[in-house]
Amino acid sequence: MCTLFPDSVVAIEWLLRVFVLSDENVSDLEDRLAFMNAQEPDNVWARACRGKLLAQSGDWLAALGQLGPAALGAAGETAAVLALRGGIELRVHGYPAAERTLREALRRSSAAASGRLRLQLAEALVRQGADRAAEAEALLAEAAGSPERDALLAEARLRRGALTEVEAVTAPLEVRAAWLVAERRADEAVALLDGTGEHSPRRLRQLAAALWAAGRREESAARFLEAAKLDPNHPEPFYYLGQYYQERSDQTRALRCYQKACRLNPGEPRCSAALSDLYRARGEHEQNVRLLTAVTESRPDASVSRWAWFRLGLHHLQAGEPQRAVVCLQTAVKAAPDDAVALECLGDAYRLRGAYTSAVQAYSRSAALSEQPVYAQLQMADIRQLLGQLDEAEAGYQQTLAARPGFVPALKGLGETHLRRAQQLVSRQLHGLARDSCQLAADSLTAAVLDQSRLSCLWKQLGDVLCMTAGLPPRYRRLQVAAQLLPCPPADGGVCGPLAGPLLVDVAIRCYSQAVAIENLGGLWHDLALSYRLRAGLYAAGESEQAAVALRRALQCAHKATGLLPGDAAIWNTLGVIACERPVEDRRLAQHAFIKSLRLRETAMAWTNLACLYMVNGQLKLANEALTKAQSVEPAYGAAWTGQALIAEQLSPEQATDLFRHAVHLQPLAPAALGYGRWVCRALRDPSVWHTAQYRFNIERMQAVTVAGEALELYTTGAPDDAAGWNMLGLLAERQSRHGAALHAYQRAAALLAGADEPDWAAVDAARTNSARLLTAAGRYDEAVAEYRRLHEASFHSQCGLALALQRAGHDEEAYSAYEAALHWLSPDDANKSHTLVAVAQLLYRFDRVSEARTELLKSFQLEPASEQGLLALTALALRQGDSALALACESELAQRRTQPELAAERALLEACLRLARDDSTGAVRAVQAAVHRHPQQGGLWRLLAAALLQLRPAAGAAVTAATAARRVAAAGAERDQAVSDLVCQAQLQAGDVSGALRSAQRAVLWRPDSPSAWCDLVAARLAGLQWAPADGRGAALCWLRAAVSRLRRGHRLARPLHGWLSTVDRRVEMLLAQG
C-alpha cells in the first residue's frame, strides 16, 4: 500500500505501527520516518518508532523519552509498547517502574507472549531486593523451565537468604559468585570471576562486589569504575564508590556518587539511606529532609519506606521538633514492631516532648527486644529520677551497672539519685539517713570521676555532694573520700576517712576548681564561690584571718561568675550575700547586687536578703516593705516571716509571737526557732498573763510549748554549741514533763557555758540550777545536791532548791540550815521570806517541834504579802490542834485571800473541814459548791464536790448528784486519775445504776490494769449485779469474783480497810456458792 500511495500519511502510519507492534523488518524505514516527521511531527506512532529504533541502537534513556506515557498517549497503553518500555526500564535498572509497566503489559498481552513478560517481571522483582524475592520466586514457579528461568530462580533464592537451595538449580557464574560471597568465601568468588576473562558490566559489578567483601577496597573501586563506564545506568557501582570515598573522608565525591545512584534508582533504600546519612553528617539538613520527604510521599507503604521514616524522625529529634519526630518514629515502629533501635529513638522523642509515661513504655519494649538494653535501662532510670521515683530509679541504675559494670552515665545517674534522696531527707530533718545517701552518692561519683576525669559535670556533682554533707549538723559532717581526691593523697591510696566538715569543703573546692579548669562556665564559678563561703563559716573562732581569705576568694569567684553569666539572678544574689559578710562588709556592693538580682528575676530570697541589709543599716521601714514583697512573691517562704517577726520585736512586740509561730510552721529556721522559743518561755514565766485569753490562745490552744520545743530540737541539732538554745529547750521539755530530755539540755548548756574562753559564771550557775532542780524532781537527790554545791555563787532560788534536795534526801538538819541561810542572807523581799518561813515550819513540824512550827507560820502570816500556802498550813495546824480561835481567824483570812486560783481546791477543802468541825455538813458542801462556781474549769474542785456529796449526802438524790459531778469532772478535762474513776463507779452504784457502774469499772481496768482500786470497783459492780444476773450465769460470776478477790489479795499490798472489805466480799461469795 505504501508502494501504491507513497505520499499517504495513513499508509505510512500503519507501516510504522506494524514495525512497533511486531518484529517485522520494514524497508526504507528511515525515509518513511523522515517523511512522517515532515508531515506530522507529533504523530505518536512515529515517536514510538523512533523509540524502538533508539532502543535497538542502545540509547536507552532517549528511547524511554520517546516511549513514555505522556508522549504516546493511548498508543502507549498497547501490550507491545508496554512490553518494549518495560524491557528498556529493565535495561536502565529502573526496577520499580519496570515492575509496574510489565504488570500492565502482562494484563493486556496474549497467553503466547506472557511467558517472556513473566520472566522480565520476575527479574524486576528479584532486582528490587530481598523483600520482593519471595514474590519473584512464586512467579518463576509458574514459568516454563529455561536457563534464564533457572538463573533468576537461583538469584531469588540467594536474595531471600536460602543459601542451601541455591545449589539445587543451575545458576550462572555471577549467581554462584554471589553465593560464595554470601557464604563468606569471597576469595573463591574473586578467583571464579577473575578466571573467566569476561568484562561484561554485570560480571565486573559482581567481581567488584566480591573484592569489596574480601576487603580489597582499591581493586574493588577500580572494577566499579570500569563497570560504571560500561553501564552508567546501574546504581550499584555508584553506591559502592560512594562508600569507598566516604571511608577515605572524601565527602564531596561520595555525595556525587550517592546522588547519581539515587537519580538512577529513586527511592532505593540502600542508596537513599546512605545519601541521607551523608547529608546529616555534612549538616545539609534541608536537602536531607527534602530527600526523605520525597521518599515517604512517593512510597506511602511504611514497610517499604521504613528507613526513610526512621531517618526523618531522627532529623526532627535532632532539630528539637518532638511532635513531628514522634509521628515519624511511630510510623517506623508500626512497620517493624521488633526494631529495638527505633523504639529507643521513639522513647527519646516522647521524653523530649514531656510524655514520660509513653517514653518509659517505649524503652521497656526496646529493653525486652534487645540483648544488651543498656541505653533503654539508663533512660528509664533517668526518667524515674526526673519524676521523683527515686527507689525505682536506683534499681534501674543498679540493673544497668550489673549489665555493664563501671558505666559512667549510670554511675552519674546513681549519684544524682542518692543526692536527690539526701536533699529530701534533709527537708524532713532526717540528717543521719541524708548522710548515708551522701556517702552512696560520693562513692558512685568518685568511681565515675576516676574513670572519666575530663567531664566537668562529674566534678561539679561530686562537689555538690561534699558541700551538702558539710552543711549538715556537726555530728553528721563526715564522709569517707577516695585518697585520689585529696590534695596530698597518701602513698597507699585507698579510702581516707571519715573526713570532717572543713576537710570535706576543701575537697569540694578542689572538685569545683577541676570543673572550672575543664569548662570555664559561670555556674561552676558560682558553685566555687558558695564553697569558699561555706569554708569560711567552718573556720574556728581563732582562725579569723583564714576565714577572711576564704571570703575574699568567694567574692572574687562571684565576680567572675557575674562576668561570665550576667543574666543569672542567683549569682547576683550570692554576690550580695558574700558582700554582706563581716570581713568583706561592702554594703553598697551588696545592695547593688540584690537590686540587680531582683531586676533580673524577683525571688523571695533576694527580697529577704535586701531586707536583712536594710535591718542591719537600721532602715526598718524599708526592710518591712522588702519583706512584704518577698511574701507576695512566695507566701510560704519562712525567712521573710522570720524577718518580719524580728522587726515586730522592736516595733510591735504583741505581734511578734504570731509571726514567729507562723515562721516556725513554714520553715523552722534558726532565728525563728530561737525567737519563738524565747517568746514562749517569756509567757510561761509571767504569771500575770496566765489567765488571759491571749495566753490561752497563743500558748495552750496553739500548742506553743510542743511546737517551740520541736523547733528548738531541730535548731540545737544544727547548732549544738548554742547554750541559750539548749537552755530554752530544757525549759520547754521540763514543761512537757520530758525530764530526761530536759536534763540533757540543761547539762549541755552548762557544759558549753563553762567551757567558754571567758565563762559567764552567772549563766553557768543558772543552767546548773535548772539541772539540779530537775534532778530533784526526778528523785535523784544526791546528784541534785552535788550539782547545787558546784555553783560559784548561791542565789535565793538555788539555796532553796538545795534545801529541798537535802530534805528529800533525808538530810533534814542540813536542809534546815540551808533554809535558814536563804531566809536570813539571800531572801530578796518579804514575799519570799514568807514562803521560806513556811518551808522552815514544815521542817520543824517534822522534828515534832509543833509550837516552833506554829510560831514560824505566824511570822510568815505577819509579813506582807503573806504566803497563802502558809495560811493554809496554819489553818490545817489549827484544826489538828483543835484551836477554834485560831481556826476562826484563819477562816476569815481565807475568805479574804483568794489570790492564787491554783490553790482553790486546797482552800475549799479546808473551808469544808472548818465547817465540819462545827458540825455544819450543809455549810461544808456549800463551801465546796461555791468554790466550784468560782472556778468551774478546775477538775480538782469537781472531784472534791463529788467526794463531799457521796460522804455527806448519802441519799439517792445526793448519789445521783455526785455521779453527775463526777461526769462533769471528766467533761471538764480534769486529769485522768484513778480517783475520778472510783468516784464515778461509786456514785453510779449508790444511785442504783449497776450497768453504768460496771461499764465505768471495766473502762478503768482497761486503762489501768495494775490498779487495785480499779479491780475493786469492778468486783463491787459485779457483786451488785448478781441479783439481776440470769440464774444459769450466777455460778460463773461467783467463781470469777472468788478468783478476782484471791488475786487481789496475793498480787497487791492493800490498805487495811480495803483488805477487810475484800474479806467480807469473799465470805459472802463463799456463802452464796454454798447455798447453790
What is the grid cell recorded at 459? 566534678
Which pLDDT belongs to residue 625?
A: 95
Name the pLDDT band for 266 (thresholds 50, 70, 90). Answer: confident
Confirm if 818 and 830 have CB atoms less than 8 A apart.
no
Contact residues for 973 (Cβ-Cβ < 8 A; gap 6+): 937, 939
Q: Has residue 168 got a pLDDT over 50?
A: no
Q: Has residue 980 got a pLDDT over 80?
A: no
Q: How far apart are CA 712 and CA 675, in angstroms?
A: 10
Confirm if 712 and 742 have CB atoms less than 8 A apart.
no
Instruction: Point out the least confidently predicted range of 180-194, 568-582, 834-848, 935-949.
Output: 180-194
Strand partners, 270: none
Q: What pLDDT digit, counting tens, does each position of 821-861 carry?
A: 998 888 888 889 999 999 999 999 888 888 899 899 888 88
Three-class SS state of 339: coil
Q: Taking residues 465-487, report their average pLDDT.
A: 89
Q: What pLDDT digit, counting tens, does each position of 194-251 carry?
A: 766 667 777 787 788 788 888 888 888 888 888 888 878 778 888 888 888 888 888 8
- Which run of H or of E encompasses 495? strand 495-500
Confirm if 422 and 440 have CB atoms less than 8 A apart.
no
Q: Has residue 186 got a pLDDT over 50?
A: yes
Confirm if 898 and 906 have CB atoms less than 8 A apart.
no
Three-class SS state of 299: coil
Q: How far apart are CA 706 and CA 724, in angstroms?
A: 18
Which pLDDT belongs to residue 617?
A: 92
Which pLDDT belongs to residue 684?
A: 92
Q: Per-residue DSSP letters for 569-603?
A: HHHHHHHHHHHHSTTT--HHHHHHHHHHHHHH---
Which pLDDT belongs to residue 692?
A: 87
Q: Which amino acid is at 737?
A: S
Residue 554: phi and psi, rounded to 5, are -60, -40
Q: Which amino acid is at 739?
A: H
Query: Which among 72, 71, 65 has a CA at the least distance from the CA of 89?
Result: 65
Round the average pLDDT of the chain to a whole number and report it.
Answer: 83
DSSP state of 130: G
Q: What pLDDT digit, counting tens, does each position of 113-142 carry?
A: 666 667 666 666 666 666 666 666 666 666
Which pLDDT belongs to residue 135?
A: 66
What is the grid cell recorded at 380? 528509664
Q: Which amino acid is at 1027?
A: Q
Which pLDDT belongs to residue 175?
A: 66
Query: Which among 491, 512, 495 has a CA at the least distance from the CA of 447?
Result: 495
What is the grid cell recorded at 979? 480517783
Confirm if 1024 and 988 have CB atoms less than 8 A apart.
no
Three-class SS state of 1040: helix
Which pLDDT belongs to residue 90?
A: 61
Domain boundaries, the chain: 1032-1075
Q: Taking residues 526-532, report their average pLDDT.
A: 96
Calculate the alpha carbon distances from 590 to 169, 378, 753, 830 in Å. 90, 44, 35, 57
CA dihedral 793, 797, 799, 800 (to 10 degrees): 180
Q: What pLDDT digit, counting tens, does each position of 936-975 carry?
A: 877 778 778 878 877 887 665 565 565 566 556 555 554 5
Q: What pLDDT digit, counting tens, does each position of 85-97 carry?
A: 666 666 666 667 7
Q: Has residue 51 got a pLDDT over 70?
A: no
Which pLDDT belongs to residue 71?
A: 45
Name the pLDDT band for 63 (thresholds 50, 70, 90). Answer: low
Q: How far apart are CA 148 and CA 89, in angstroms?
A: 18
Which pLDDT belongs to residue 10?
A: 54
Q: Taking residues 707-713, report their average pLDDT.
A: 93
Strand partners, 500: 478
Place of cell 551497672: 401
Q: How far apart are CA 173 and CA 634, in angstroms?
A: 82
Query: Which among 984, 988, 927 has a CA at the least distance from the CA of 952?
Result: 927
Contact residues for 945 (Cβ-Cβ < 8 A; gap 6+): 925, 928, 929, 932, 962, 965
Number of alpha carbons in the 13 Å side-chain half-sphere of residue 244: 23
Name the pLDDT band for 1 (thresholds 50, 70, 90). Answer: very low
Q: What pLDDT digit, counting tens, does each position of 785-813 carry?
A: 999 999 999 999 999 999 999 999 989 89
How far does the chain reach from its first CA to its final CA, in angstroms?
A: 149
Confirm if 686 and 708 have CB atoms less than 8 A apart.
no
Beta carbons within 10 angstroms of residue 185's beta carbon? 17
Q: What angle do CA 1062, 1063, 1068 make, to 5 degrees?
A: 95
Q: Has residue 60 got a pLDDT over 60?
A: no
- Burial of 1045 from C-beta contacts in 10 A (0-12 / 13-18 / 19+): buried
Confirm if 815 and 843 have CB atoms less than 8 A apart.
yes
